[in-house]
């Protein structure tokens, strides 16, 4: 169990997922450089589409953020709902409650508190999966939307899946220069490429130009300088990287060297024990790994988050 996780053994779906994949045995028999601290964090239940809510009127803080950036984008709430994503200021749902659990543990590791020491660079979170189509981008966006609602944090969602970027497309934002452009051009100010949004607390850094040398650019010393720049002047900023799948593209292993936490998305009944073990060994540059069981179709406890507020299924 990760020492930064607040989850205790209770026979829930979280512990059953751990037993299903037998993570302890995987790492006892796996590579020597596999991360030592791995724990299930939460299951994400994919719900029906959430109710559509109208676009929120930008707050003064949002307007100020848009003025500080050269680019600004409004995010269509109806599009979020149709994609089964969290809708800011929308009704409480099972999905939003699940990600409240996920973010709380990540924020505790990032900031520390209640007797828990902060993880070095814990404000940098890599969201990854072993293989494509296991829900990493879906989870990265929902995590960013959930964290952006925190009053003491601002969130920067970085699309670091350079070969197949999908964050902007999912959110309905036109393609723009981004992270790779800043890595490739030493004269580029990465902050000028950050897109402010009308969701208070949320900004986005696109993947940028495509190249066959993405891993080589990431491995250069400029990467550390850019990431430091993104956090140096804003201690309230949480950075979430939407990474390429670990077994499909090499940039994930390099990105793991620059973050303090990794959230590994596991597709229920699809991701195999061997694939997960191999993926985690490639991400050994990050010692603090949490597991998120995605696309579950049941809860052994009958838990249905959201209905306490009157919006869940009865």
Q: What integer pLDDT is reported at residue 9 of this predicted model?
A: 37
The domain of 235 spans: 13-309
In the DSSP assignment, the letter for residue 308 is G
What average pLDDT does the segment 210-215 reach? 95
pLDDT at 66 over 70: no
| Count of the separate structural domains present in the chain | 1
Whether residue 92 is contained in a domain is answered as yes
Helices then strands, counting H and E runs in the chain, come out as 12, 9
Q: What integer pLDDT is reported at residue 70 of this predicted model?
A: 54
Token pair listed for 72: 């600004």
What average pLDDT does the segment 215-232 reach? 96
Whether residue 5 is contained in a domain is answered as no
The pTM score is: 0.80
pLDDT, one tens digit per residue, over 119-172 is 999 999 999 999 999 999 999 999 999 999 999 999 999 999 999 999 999 999
pLDDT at 106 over 80: yes
Q: What integer pLDDT is reported at residue 206 of this predicted model?
A: 98
Q: What integer pLDDT is reported at residue 114 of this predicted model?
A: 83
pLDDT, one tens digit per residue, over 295-305 is 876 555 555 55
Whether residue 140 is contained in a domain is answered as yes
Residue whose tokens read 């607040």: 6
pLDDT at 47 over 80: no
Residues 289 and 38: their CA atoms lie apart, in Å, by: 5
Whether residue 36 is contained in a domain is answered as yes
Task: Characterize the bridge pairing of strands 154-159 and 37-44.
Answer: unpaired
Q: What integer pLDDT is reported at residue 296 of this predicted model?
A: 79
Q: What integer pLDDT is reported at residue 275 of this predicted model?
A: 97
Can you give 5-56 as a three-state secondary structure string? CCCCCCCCHHHHHHHHHCHHHHHHHCCCCCCCEEEEEEEECCCCCCCCCCCC
Whether residue 164 is contained in a domain is answered as yes
Whether residue 7 is contained in a domain is answered as no
pLDDT at 314 over 90: no
Whether residue 180 is contained in a domain is answered as yes
CATH of the domain at 121: 3.40.50.300
What average pLDDT does the segment 41-66 reach? 44
Tell me the pLDDT band of 289, cut-offs 50, 70 and 90: very high
Q: What integer pLDDT is reported at residue 225 of this predicted model?
A: 97
Whether residue 2 is contained in a domain is answered as no
Higher pLDDT, 306 or 233: 233
Exposure string of 55-88, with b = 16+ CB inside 10 Å and e = fewer, is: ebebeeebeebbeebebbbebbbeebbebbbbbb
């Amino acid at each position: 169990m990760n020492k930064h996780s607040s989850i205790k053994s209770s026979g829930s779906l979280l512990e059953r997922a751990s037993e299903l994949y037998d993570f302890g045995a995987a790492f006892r028999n796996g590579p020597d450089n596999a991360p030592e601290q791995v724990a299930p964090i939460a299951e994400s239940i994919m719900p029906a589409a959430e109710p559509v809510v109208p676009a929120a009127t930008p707050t003064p803080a949002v307007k100020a953020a848009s003025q500080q950036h050269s680019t600004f984008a409004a995010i269509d709430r109806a599009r979020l709902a149709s994609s089964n994503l969290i809708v800011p200021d929308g009704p409480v749902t099972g999905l939003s409650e699940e990600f409240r659990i996920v973010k709380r543990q990540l924020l505790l590791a990032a900031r520390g508190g209640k007797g828990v020491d902060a993880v070095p660079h814990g404000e940098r979170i890599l969201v990854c999966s072993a293989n494509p189509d296991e829900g990493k981008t879906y989870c990265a966006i929902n995590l960013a939307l959930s964290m952006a609602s925190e009053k003491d944090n601002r969130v920067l969602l970085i699309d670091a899946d350079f070969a197949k970027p999908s964050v902007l497309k999912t959110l309905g934002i036109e393609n723009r220069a981004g992270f790779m452009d800043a890595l490739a051009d030493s004269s580029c100010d990465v902050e000028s490429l950050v897109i402010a949004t009308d969701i208070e607390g949320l900004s986005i850094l696109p993947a940028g130009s495509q190249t066959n040398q993405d891993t080589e650019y990431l491995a250069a010393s400029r990467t550390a300088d850019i990431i430091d720049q993104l956090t140096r002047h804003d201690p309230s900023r949480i950075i979430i990287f939407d990474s390429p799948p670990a077994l499909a593209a090499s940039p994930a292993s390099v990105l793991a060297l620059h973050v303090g936490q990794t959230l590994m998305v596991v597709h229920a009944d699809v991701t195999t024990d061997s694939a997960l073990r191999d993926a985690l060994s490639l991400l050994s540059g990050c010692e603090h790994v949490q597991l998120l069981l995605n696309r579950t179709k049941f809860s052994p406890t009958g838990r249905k988050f959201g209905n306490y507020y009157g919006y869940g299924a009865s």
